[in-house]
Structure 1
């Protein structure tokens, strides 16, 4: 149940509450701006997973550091953060795409022995091992979302955990999984180049 003192959902009063570390104020801001920021970032990137991670990072940062930032207009602040993170993601994606395109002809020339070292089965096995080593709660939430296809609301109801907490667990998991896959990809590159 939402706190009565924020019943009007006035951004100024919510910002004051946030500065005082009031979780109720943060949750209302989260509910108010989450989907708007996600929609706006998706218009620019058209990659739902990246956009969800961007918005999640924005709200994690707002909760951790919002009291120390000089925020006068919370809506403008959130949209500025979103645009900056979208731009950074776009730049990173362009670099990754360029790297793949630059080396695609090289990959095609490699013999099957080198390619077989890290095929799709290896990547699947790596991810399964990574999931198995997650903390119990995070593992449970990750499997329900990405293996069972449940929504964050359904997971929240089943685990009796707030939807914000579920989304935080998923945000952290996806961030770490992406790092793992990037490391895997870089390892593959090193192996391929050393096999020449």
Structure 2
């Protein structure tokens, strides 16, 4: 793991060649879908590479197997949630929603969940800023706090959203969709 942490492509290739078949078998066993299993294995290896500097793993095989299982279960949860959203937004006239609309709705609800999990003052500052369109001075005045404090709460909320979405380009687009006047 040490050479991988240092960005050694050879170490990564060695890990990939050593474990990909086993991981594919685990993913297929849990998902029953070969294409999905292949995608999950690729995503786990990409995540391993992207997080190589922050991971400290004693047993690489166990870590990767666990990551595969978690990814399969996350995929099930996503699909279940998408099915629920399809049912919620189904029009009585059976108007068809395309996959993009469903995905946007899913992301909007996911973002709303992140916002609701923020600490109380942080969430309030965020909502005043994004939903009511108040400026930092207006928020500070309404809440009776310093402008720097309001700014810090908003910064914290935005940072939390970026981290949880893990898609810097997507969060800005979706937030503008959610909080349109």
**TM-score, normalisation: structure 1:** 0.45
More RCO (CA 8 Å, sep 6+)? 1
**TM-score, normalisation: structure 2:** 0.49
